[in-house]
Amino acid sequence: MDDEQNAADSFVCVPDRELPVCVLGMGRSGTSLTARVLNLLGVDLGPETGLIPASPQNRKGYWERRAIFELNDAVLSAMGGNYANPPPLRPGWHRSSILKPLKQRARILVAECFGASPLWGFKDPRTSLTLPFWRDVIPRMRYVICVRDPAEVAASFERYASDGSSDARSWPDLWLLSTARALLDTGDSPRMLAFYEDYFDNLNGQVEHLAAFIGRPMTSDGLASIEDFVERDLRHWTDPGGTQFRRRDNSETRTLYDALRTLPPCPRKREFRRVERLADRLLRARVRRGGPAFLSRRRSLSATAPSVLQHFPADLIHGVERFGIADDGWVEKHAYVALTGGGAVNLVIQGAALPCEEQRVEVLVNGRPVASESVAAGDFEVQVPLRASRRRRRIELRWKCATPLAPPDQRQAAARLTFIGLVPPTPTIPFLAES
């Protein structure tokens, strides 16, 4: 073989101690399990206080940073969708100007959570869809792509109720999109596959591959901790023989999964390329066959924004562009929401502030400060008059301080919003602020 053939046929599971590790894959595909195993092998996941706590749906923990989860949600929302119904992300979407504040927040988050850690990483299934955004923030990473039988993934989603924003029949298509994008967007980087069932059928082999990929030894103590963590009853649903699989799945999803299962955890580059090309063809074929809207839509919904949010959490969970405002209304130290109002309006913000010494909130509209007010603990209201504008307005709230919520939540929050909106002004307002 010549040098070019050798390069094309080389393995991609080459350890690089300088690169952070990003865990990708469809939700319910073992991303949490993989993140924790990597953590036990030496990958720093950041301060424990910022991790999403365990729940009945995932009693061993998600091993996922809430701030990264919320950032990914904000990116999808800004582009006109959410995880269950992703927006149509065309090539170059990650360079949109509306994402600049989110990228800045992501850079700050990475610096705060990981600092000078020699080996760190993160996971969130949404990253499979938003990876180009993250690659602008962290240009060089290595990737573990988690893969699980799509029928088991769909059954796992059906086992636990979602927010009802997506028909269960679309989960195989989301699996196809998430897995294909994870393959197509990582082609120039070190990467490996982590098959969910291998944790239960060949745990030692799976751990050896992960340890080699991150360049860390697999010690007997580390393996014992991993064996204690990976309990067999973590696998809630299996489908021997694939009978349910055929009833649940579409042909493209089945084809891609079968192709991936022919690969070893650390394929050669040409083997990865072959599956990448297949994934791209299958996505196109699914659109031609009449796939769900998130595979075939051509227009983004990001131009639409409400004028008022007054029903929490209902108004927040249906594609509203926002960041730092949780579904239950709790607001972080820095947050924003997009609103639209045609005429001269009052920006009204209401809620309850947490106790904090000398609390103050600065309000910005489209990056321009329009108000700065002291806020006492308890109920508060801020009103700011704005000029008429047909532009979408980006309402930013910058609080002086935040405090942890009561255990077991422990999220950092400044206040809990009950209303934010653009409402008609009263005749008594004597001036209009620039916006």
Q: Which one, of 24, 26, 64, lies nearest residue 45 by Cα?
A: 64
Tokens of 174: 């989301």
Q: Residue with structure tokens 């239950």?
A: 328
**What is the pLDDT at residue 169?**
60
Pairing of strands 378-386, 322-325: unpaired
Rounded CA-CA distance 108/127 in Å is: 18
Domain 3-296 and domain 308-423 have a common topology = no
Strand partners, 44: 120
End-to-end CA distance of the chain: 64
Q: Whole-angstrom Cα distance, residue 359 to residue 351?
A: 14
Is residue 294 within 8 Å of 85, Cβ to Cβ? yes
Asked whether 375 and 388 are in contact (CB, 8 A), the reply is: no
Q: Which CATH fold topology does 308-423 show?
A: Jelly Rolls (2.60.120)
Tokens of 136: 């602008």
Decide if domain 3-296 falls under CATH 3.40.50: yes
pLDDT at 383: 94
Given this model, what pLDDT does residue 21 score?
97
Question: Which residues is 58 bridged to in the sheet?
Answer: 55
Angle between helices 66-78 and 127-137 (to 10 degrees): 100
Residue 365, φ and ψ in degrees, nearest 5: -120, 120
State the Cα angle at 223 between 218 and 225, rounded to 5°.
135
Residue 121 forms beta bridges with which residues?
21
Residues 77 and 319: beta-carbon distance below 8 Å: yes
| Length of the chain (residues) | 435
Is 229 within 8 Å of 37 (Cβ atoms)? yes
Q: Which residues contact 303 (CB under 8 A, 6 or more apart)?
A: 80, 392
Q: Which residue bears the tokens 């082609």?
A: 187
The Cα–Cα gap between 316 and 272 comes to 39
Which residues of the chain fall short of a pLDDT of 70? 1-17, 159-169, 232-249, 293, 296-304, 317-319, 426-435
For the chain, what are the domain ranges? 3-296, 308-423
